[in-house]
Structure 1
Amino acid sequence: MSDRNNRKKIGIITYWITRSNYGTILQNYALQTFLRSLGFETFLIRTDIPLGCSRKDYYKSLLQKNGFFSLIGYFKSRLLCKIAWKILSENKNDEKRKFPDSVDKYLNPTKIFRSLSELESDCPMADIYIAGSDQVWNTYGENYATISEQIKAYLLCFAPDSARKISCAASFGKNSLDLEFESLFKQELSEFDFISCREKSGVEICRKLG
C-alpha cells in the first residue's frame, strides 16, 4: 500500500464563497499547505446553505422579537452596507481575481452541499474535521430558525462519531454568544477534541459554556 493511501484525511469547513476577499481564500490555502507539509491529505468542504426561513418571515420575527425601531435599524444598516459596497467595488474588476479557479486548483474542493441533511447523508469521509478559521461561529444576530443549519454545519454536526473534531482559530465575531444559541454550542463544542479561537473573547465564551 502506498504512503498516499496511508495518509490521514482532513476535511476543512470554512468560508469559501467570495468575490473580493483575498483573506477568505488565503486562510484556507495556508492551513491546507501547512497540514499537507505534515503529511496529511486535505480538502475543502463546500457548503451554500440558504437561510432557514423567508425574508418576510425573518422581518416578522425581528419585529416581534425586538420591535419596530429594530426593524428600521436593520433596513438602515443594510442600505448603508449596500452603498458602501457599491462605492468600494466601483473600481474593482472581480472577474480578474479568478477566485473560483483558485479554489478548484489549490483547495481540493468537494461538491457544493445545499443543506445540512445533504451533508449528513453524503458526508465526505475524513479522519479529522476542522472548522475554521474566520468567523464561522458568528450567528450575526439571526434567530435560531433562520441560521441554525449553517451554524450546525460549522459546528461539525455532520461528522461521523469516529472522527476527530477540531476548530482552528474559529471566531464568534463578537464578545458574547446570542442566548438562543447557547444550548446548541454547549452541546456540540463538548464533542470537539480540541478548540482554538481567534480572539480571547472567544476563549471566554467557550469557558462560560463549560
Structure 2
Amino acid sequence: MKIKTITCHNVYNYGASLQAYALQHYLESLGNEVEIIDFMPWFLKRRYNLWVANCGKFGKLCKIFPPVRLFAPIRNRLRYKTWGRKAKFDAFTQSYLHLTTRYNTSIELQNNPPQANLYIAGSDQIWNTELPNGKEPAYFLDFGTAKKISYAASFGINEIDKEDQPFVKHELGNFDYITVREKTGLEILKFFGFNDAVQVVDPVFLLNAKQWMYLGSKAIDYKLPKNKYILVYDFFGDERIAEFSAKIKAETGYEIVSLNDYSPRTYVDYNINDAGPLEFISLIENAGIVVSSSFHGSVFSLIFHKQFYVYSLKGSGSSSRMADLMYSLGISEHYNASELQADIDYCIVDRKLLNMITNSKIFLQNCIKK
C-alpha cells in the first residue's frame, strides 16, 4: 500500500524528527511504501533564517522601519553557535526520512496532492492551535481523496480557544478514523462530537529499545561516563530543574550534562549544543538519570528504562501530554517532583506500556486493512 504521512518533521526538534522516523519505519516494516509529505509552510522555515526578526521590540521596529531588519543577523548571532546541530538534523533528514516533493502551502497540496492509498496525519503537536500548525488545513488532511486517518495526533493543550473551535471541528470531519496521543485529546474530540476516537501511543513506542539503540550507535561519542551523569534537557532555564538537578548531584556525585540549543545552562558541568537526533537517543540511553521538560525526553527514558523526572513547561499550556503519560503509567510522583523519589519499577511500567503499545499496533494495522 502507498502511504503518505504528514507531520512537523523538519523543525529542528528531537521529538519531531524521531516520531516522524518511527511512524515511517514501522509502517514500512509492515510492507508498505511510505513517504512523509515534505510540507514546509512559512512558519517552519524561520528557525535558522538569520534574517527573520524575532518578536518583541526588535520585531516591532522592523515593521515600523524595515531597514532595521539589516541588523537581524547580529541579533540572531546565538544561532551561529548551533550550526553544528542544524547540520546533524539535516543529515538525519536526508539519511532516514523518505520525503515527497516539497509543498509550501495547503493550497499546493489541495491542487496537486501526492498519490496514495492512505493518508496519515500525525504525530506530535500538529493540532495545537496555540501554534500556527494547529490552524493549518494540511495537518487536518484537507487534500486528496484517499482514505484518511490520524495516528497519535496531539492538540498539546487542554482546550481549544472559542475562536478556533469552528475551524477545528470542520477540519476533523475529513477523517475516516481519528486516534490521538493524549487523554486530553479524547476530551477535546468528545466536545466536538467525535466520540469514536481512540487513544494510542506516540510513534516512537512502535519501535523497541534495540532498534533505537542501533540508531543511537551511529551518534558521535561525547566520551561521557556511561550511566554516571545526569542528563538535563531544560527548554527555558527552569529554576525547578536547576535546583532538582543539584539535589541529584549531591546525592549521587554525578556531573550534570545539559542538552541545549542557543543558551547554555549555567548550573551544569557540561553543555552540549551540537547534538542531532542520533545524539539525543545516545545521550539518554547512556545517562544515569534524566531530568527534563520534554515529552520525548520522558518517552525515550521509558524506552531505555532510565530513572527520570519531568517538569511542566513553565508559561506554556502544552504540558498535558507529559502529565497524561506519567499518570497513565502510575509514576506521577516523578512529574513536577520537589524531592527525590523511589526508583521507577519498570516491571509494572512495562506491563502497562506493552498493553498500550500492542493495542495501538493492532488498531493502526486494522485501519490500514479496512
Same-fold call, TM > 0.5? yes
Q: Any idea what SS the aligned residue of 1:39 has?
A: coil
- Distance between the aligned counterparts of 1:141 and 1:94, measured in 2? 23
- Distance between the aligned counterparts of 2:80 and 2:11, measured in 1? 13
Match of 2:171 in 1: 188
Task: Spell out the pairing of 1:112-191 with structure 2 (5 A cutoff).
Answer: 112-140=102-130, 151-160=136-145, 163-191=146-174
Counterpart contact for 2:122–2:153, Cα < 8 Å: yes
Question: Structure 1: which 5+ runs fail to align?
Answer: 1-7, 52-73, 79-84
Match of 1:108 in 2: 98
Match of 2:29 in 1: 37
Going from structure 1 to structure 2, the CA distance change for 1:91 and 1:151 (only over 3 Å counts) comes to closer
With normalisation by structure 1, the TM-score equals: 0.69
How far apart are residue 96 of structure 1 and its match? 4.7
Q: Any idea what SS the aligned residue of 1:34 has?
A: helix
How far apart are residue 111 of structure 1 and its match? 1.9
Counterpart contact for 2:141–2:174, Cα < 8 Å: no
Greater RCO, CA 8 A, separation 6+: 1
- Distance between the aligned counterparts of 1:165 and 1:180, measured in 2? 26
Going from structure 1 to structure 2, the CA distance change for 1:75 and 1:187 (only over 3 Å counts) comes to same
Going from structure 1 to structure 2, the CA distance change for 1:111 and 1:91 (only over 3 Å counts) comes to closer
CA RMSD of aligned residues (A): 2.7
How far apart are residue 141 of structure 1 and its match? 6.1
Aligned length: 165
Task: Spell out the pairing of 1:49-88 with structure 2 (5 A cutoff).
Answer: 49-50=41-42, 75=56
Residue type at the aligned position of 2:124: D
Going from structure 1 to structure 2, the CA distance change for 1:115 and 1:92 (only over 3 Å counts) comes to closer
Moved more, 115-124 or 100-109: 100-109
- Distance between the aligned counterparts of 2:178 and 2:10, measured in 1? 24
With normalisation by structure 2, the TM-score equals: 0.41
How far apart are residue 116 of structure 1 and its match? 1.4
Cα deviation 1:54-105 (Å, max 9, x = unaligned): xxxxxxxxxxxxxxxxxxxx849x9xxxxxx9889957731451x2232233
- Distance between the aligned counterparts of 2:131 and 2:8, measured in 1? 18
Q: Find out whether 1:204 has 2:187 as its counterpart.
A: yes
Q: Any idea what SS the aligned residue of 2:100 has?
A: strand
Q: Any idea what SS the aligned residue of 1:93 has?
A: helix
Q: Any idea what SS the aligned residue of 1:15 has?
A: coil
How far apart are residue 175 of structure 1 and its match? 0.3
Q: Any idea what SS the aligned residue of 1:180 has?
A: helix
Q: Find out whether 1:94 has 2:85 as its counterpart.
A: yes
Counterpart contact for 1:11–1:129, Cα < 8 Å: yes
- Distance between the aligned counterparts of 1:106 and 1:141, measured in 2? 26
Max radius of gyration: which structure? Answer: 2
- Distance between the aligned counterparts of 2:16 and 2:147, measured in 1? 24
Q: For 1:22, which of 14, 18, 22 is the aligned residue?
A: 14
- Distance between the aligned counterparts of 2:77 and 2:157, measured in 1? 26
- Distance between the aligned counterparts of 1:193 and 1:164, measured in 2? 7
How far apart are residue 201 of structure 1 and its match? 0.9
Going from structure 1 to structure 2, the CA distance change for 1:186 and 1:102 (only over 3 Å counts) comes to same
Question: Structure 2: which 5+ runs fail to align?
Answer: 44-54, 60-75, 194-370
How far apart are residue 159 of structure 1 and its match? 2.3
- Distance between the aligned counterparts of 1:104 and 1:117, measured in 2? 26
Match of 1:4 in 2: none
Going from structure 1 to structure 2, the CA distance change for 1:122 and 1:206 (only over 3 Å counts) comes to same
How far apart are residue 154 of structure 1 and its match? 0.2
Cα deviation 1:32-66 (Å, max 9, x = unaligned): 11111111110010112226xxxxxxxxxxxxxxx
Q: Any idea what SS the aligned residue of 1:126 has?
A: coil
